Structure 1
Amino acid sequence: MKYIYLILLTTLCSIGMNAQNPDHADRQDRNKEMRDRINALSIAHITKELDLTTKEAEKFWPLYNQVKEERNRLERGKKSLINKLESEFETMSESQAISYVDQMVALDQKIVATHLDYNHEEIIKVIGAKRFLKLKKAELDFRRKMIKEYRDRKRRN
């Protein structure tokens, strides 16, 4: 467990040092670094809240990451569809609009299904039902914490 924290701390420090040099990375690199940093913080938060053993972590994280990646893929597809829709909105016909609505509803249903399915049975086999509930709470708490941090930084600037 100590090694996980040490690795996360080292990663965060190296990302922080790279982020201090504005000439080092363009906007996409900074965004990727920020996503990686938030992901590392999320991993640390969830690991701490669930108090995972090394053996549990080895089984848990691949399952969790698989579901998370699927959700992210679907969300990226939805954003792409929205961007396409925005560029064609003024010139689209009613039948094209119906097609976009159908595609949007289908993506929303897949996203909800991914949230509901969540491979919860497999994860519960690894960490137990009680810690699964802790996982859901830890995810929500982390999201709230990040939103609060964002709002606080926005107020300061």
Structure 2
Amino acid sequence: MRYIIITLVFLCSLAIKAQNIDNRRIHKDRKNEMRDKIKALAVAHITKELDLNTEEAQQFWPLYNEVKDERDRLEKVKRQLIRKLESEFDDMTEKTASSYVDRMVAIDKRISGTNLIYKHDDIIKVIGAKRFLKLKKAEMDFKRKMIKEYRDRKPRE
């Protein structure tokens, strides 16, 4: 009888563990799916706002994606630095804190530099200065639209 109970407990714990792993995978898949949908909506919104023809789109999107990829990479580095900082915060010396501040400021400067600024000449050659300004406005409008939609979907407490 004891062996049956031990076996049942073991099997139940395996089932629970497998379910947790499956739930994490489903959550990660759903998160990636939502991220892809948002990217697709952003591409559609920007393409519509800039009224890009096929040739312009072929030249514009690689430049734009390069800027966004670099920005995403830097944001990831910043998040990793913040996590590391959080784990060391209680035992941190003033000198170590100063070092973190310097690294954070350097990353923030690089992030703001990737805000289409370092590629703006190349992008302007493709779409022109006026549509470059439309691009900046389209990005802001899209962010506002996404935030508004998120707030509208979020249940009120």
**Following the alignment from structure 1 to structure 2, what is the Cα–Cα distance between the partners of residues 98 and 60?**
40
- Call closer, same or farther: CA 1:116–1:122 in 2, change over 3 Å: closer
Residue 67 (structure 1) aligned with residue 67 (structure 2):
yes
TM-score, length of structure 2 as denominator length: 0.81
Q: Counterpart of 2:114 in 1: which secondary structure?
A: helix
Q: Counterpart of 2:34 in 1: which secondary structure?
A: helix
Q: Please give the root-mean-square deviation of Cα atoms over the aligned residues, in Å.
A: 1.9
Residue 42 (structure 1) aligned with residue 42 (structure 2):
yes
Runs of 4+ displaced beyond 4 Å: none
**Higher RCO, 1 vs 2 (CA within 8 Å, ≥6 residues apart):** 2
Q: Counterpart of 1:155 in 2: which secondary structure?
A: coil
Residue 32 (structure 1) aligned with residue 32 (structure 2):
yes
Matched residues, percent identical? 67
Partner amino acid, structure 2, of 1:127: I
- Structure 2 gaps of 5+ residues are 1-21
Q: Deviations over 1:91-114 (max 9, x none)?
A: 112221111111101101111122
**Following the alignment from structure 1 to structure 2, what is the Cα–Cα distance between the partners of residues 118 and 34?**
29
Residue 138 (structure 1) aligned with residue 138 (structure 2):
yes
Corresponding residue for residue 78 of structure 2: 78
Deviation at 1:118, TM superposition (A): 3.8
Deviation at 1:74, TM superposition (A): 0.6
Does structure 1 retain, via aligned residues, the 8 Å contact 2:46–2:139?
Answer: yes
Corresponding residue for residue 124 of structure 2: 124
**Following the alignment from structure 2 to structure 1, what is the Cα–Cα distance between the partners of residues 34 and 98?**
37
TM-score, length of structure 1 as denominator length: 0.81
**Following the alignment from structure 1 to structure 2, what is the Cα–Cα distance between the partners of residues 67 and 104?**
20
Corresponding residue for residue 13 of structure 1: none
**Following the alignment from structure 1 to structure 2, what is the Cα–Cα distance between the partners of residues 64 and 137?**
15
- Structure 1 gaps of 5+ residues are 1-21
Deviation at 1:31, TM superposition (A): 1.2
Partner amino acid, structure 2, of 1:90: D
**Following the alignment from structure 2 to structure 1, what is the Cα–Cα distance between the partners of residues 116 and 47?**
22
